[in-house]
Amino acid sequence: MPILVFLIVIAFAMYVFYKVKYVRSARPIEKKWISTKSSIALGTFIALFGVNQLFLFQTTLTFIIAGLFIILGAFSVYEGFKAYKHYLPFAIKEAEEFSSH
């Protein structure tokens, strides 16, 4: 499935992008907000990798490991999205305060 490989590469690239952005950020709340986005990207990467493995190999062990990857990735995306929604108003407020100085 070439589309899965493409999505896996995009998710990993977004993870690296957000980690670099996290290191370069100076504001504390913005760092937490960016970290949640990298968590979502990493969870997407892990889940898509698990789905891709289901298409490549058809063994029982692969189904078990791929299932764990999918569950772990989905949990990471879910928790990252919850944290993203939590930190978003604080990041906006912090950005407004920073720009007003």
Give the predicted TM-score (pTM) of the model: 0.91
Q: DSSP letter at 27?
A: -
Does residue 41 contact residue 18 with C-beta atoms inside 8 Å?
yes
Per-residue confidence at 100, pLDDT binned at 50, 70, 90?
Answer: confident
Does residue 50 contact residue 73 with C-beta atoms inside 8 Å?
yes
The pLDDT of residue 7 is 97
Q: Is 17 left (phi over 0), alpha (psi -120 to 50) or beta?
A: alpha
The pLDDT of residue 99 is 81
